[in-house]
Structure 1
Amino acid sequence: MSKMTNIYWLVVDNDLPNLKCFSLTCYRSFQGFDNVIVRLLHRMIYLEELTLYLHIFGGSKFIAGTHLDNEILIHMPQLHTFIFYIASENVIADPTIRVSNDDIQRTFTNIEHRQVACMVDYFKPDTMICRIFSLPFKFHRLEHITNNIPNIIFNSVTYLKLWDTDPFKYKFFVRLARAFPFLKNLSIRNIVRPFLFDQNNHLRDKDWLSIIEYPHLISLDMERAHSYYVEDFLNETKAYLPHLTELKVLYYSLQIVTKYFTRNETRRNCARVRQLIVENPIAYPKDVYCYFPSLSV
């Protein structure tokens, strides 16, 4: 917690028991959920509306329904509105034991707060992230999202970061466009491309049967993405980005995908880009400005 946050809490300390509404959003991961956040909430005994957006790092357990009931909700008898997104990242003691989405879902037994969903992701052999959130989803930002997108429409999300050690396939991007219809800022971190051929040597991801449209996308960050994904988004036969104005990408990947700024299939999705961000500041050659006619000089 920052020094400013601690001072603020000291100032309002005497008013905590009388609060009716409280909202806390923290995009950075932190430790001490029980020692800091829960202890603070215990003082808000007359709270009626509570909103939490948290990413908790470490701790001996992930946050689930029973934890929220026993540590928070039972202390707030007048609470009628609880909007939350809580991601808990933990080191797994026994990698052979896997917790599923259904396992987490069954921990929500409180009838008043049963409209919830969850996502459980495993990274490496010993790390998991368990996300629980109320429905409908009310927040505009999601980070470190993997292939494991539930069948939910996130109408409020405009800022999304994708990250996975498994490749993103065409069907994933179809679900992505449907699940996040108002997406404005997208970041993709994945250096693994899908396998192009199956066991029978048949072309696998030729499944680009239709163009995927991202009608509101204005910013796309693929600096840490395989050039395969740069191709997926800039090629107009695969994706349509009518309002893309900011592109962050490796210059080498951009050269390859655009065939050194001559390829027609990638020209339209680049036409409205006003800000092109590459890994090192460079003086762009004339071909770049011809290919990106809206680019600020």
Structure 2
Amino acid sequence: MNLPSRDDIQRTFIDFPNDQIISYVDYFSEEKRSQCHIYSYPSLMPYCGSITNNFPGGLFKNVRTVFLHDEYPFEHEFFLRIVQSFPYMQELCVNNFKSQNRKHSDESSNDNQNLSVIKYFFLSELRLVDVHDDYMEEFLFDTKACLPKNVSLHLNYESLQRVTHYFARDVTRMNCAKIDMLYLYGERKRSNSLQEYFPNAEIHFSGFMGI
């Protein structure tokens, strides 16, 4: 597809003051579709959707709900940029099936010495149903993320089993203990180990949930 460049789009807003209009273009080759974001800055919208790796950043104090989607991996640094751009984010949905390129082991301190733990101060709902296992690790590893208490968490049950090593992995225990509502999609199977791993959570099993 012959898509306009960011500069092409910006030139269509020559009557606007500089830096008040932000734009960027994404093309999803697998989905065979494209999208163009055009918005005024600073933005007053409470919702920001279909954010990709091309997101240029900025400060959006009014946004409470964020939806991330891409056909390219979201690395740890990208999530740090998201938290910095949306400091009062309360709800986050991630849709990405691509494995991260820069992974960090939970076994070696050398792998984590330069890794910033991202603090999600106001997050109250987190949806990680349509994701690669890496993004579940991104949010459940206490070496990568610090979740607040009383978070509602939506996950695929089989993915959760893999990431937590069937509810026996230490690096995910701290964040799992902060969950107060757990919604599991896919296989319906309750176990004592699951409830012990999420000691403060009310657990619900649901059918498949897409985005």
Corresponding position: 1:110 with 2:110: no
CA RMSD for the aligned pairs? 2.3
Distance 1:230 1:111 in 2: 41
Distance 1:151 1:250 in 2: 29
Structure index of larger Rg: 1
Partner of 2:121: 215
Distance 1:249 1:289 in 2: 15
Corresponding position: 1:228 with 2:137: no
The answer on whether the counterparts of 2:24 and 2:54 sit within 8 Å (CA) in structure 1 is yes
> 5 Å matches for 1:145-224?
145-196=51-102, 209-224=115-130
CA distance 1:194–1:272, change in 2 (3 Å):
closer
Deviation at 1:206, TM superposition (A): 6.5
Provide TM-score, normalisation by structure 1: 0.61
Q: RCO higher in 1 or 2 (8 Å CA, sep ≥ 6)?
A: 2
After superposing the two structures, state which structure 1 stretch, 111-120 or 187-196, moved more: 111-120
Q: CA offsets per residue over residues 190-220 of structure 1, 9 Å max, x none?
A: 11102358xxxxxxx9685210111111111
Q: CA offsets per residue over residues 243-264 of structure 1, 9 Å max, x none?
A: 3521111111111111211222
- Structure 1: which 5+ runs fail to align? 1-94, 198-204
- Structure 2: which 5+ runs fail to align? 104-110, 204-211
Q: Secondary structure at the match of 1:274?
A: strand
Deviation at 1:115, TM superposition (A): 1.4
Q: What amino acid is aligned across from residue 240 of structure 1 in structure 2?
A: C
Partner of 2:190: 284
Partner of 1:31: none
Q: Secondary structure at the match of 2:9?
A: helix
Distance 1:156 1:102 in 2: 27
Deviation at 1:151, TM superposition (A): 2.8
Provide TM-score, normalisation by structure 2: 0.84
Distance 1:243 1:190 in 2: 25
Distance 1:194 1:281 in 2: 25
Q: What amino acid is aligned across from residue 11 of structure 2 in structure 1?
A: R
Partner of 1:90: none
The answer on whether the counterparts of 2:150 and 2:181 sit within 8 Å (CA) in structure 1 is no
CA distance 1:194–1:135, change in 2 (3 Å):
same
Distance 2:65 2:113 in 1: 27
Q: Which consecutive segments of 4 or more residues in structure 1 shift more than 4 A?
A: 205-208
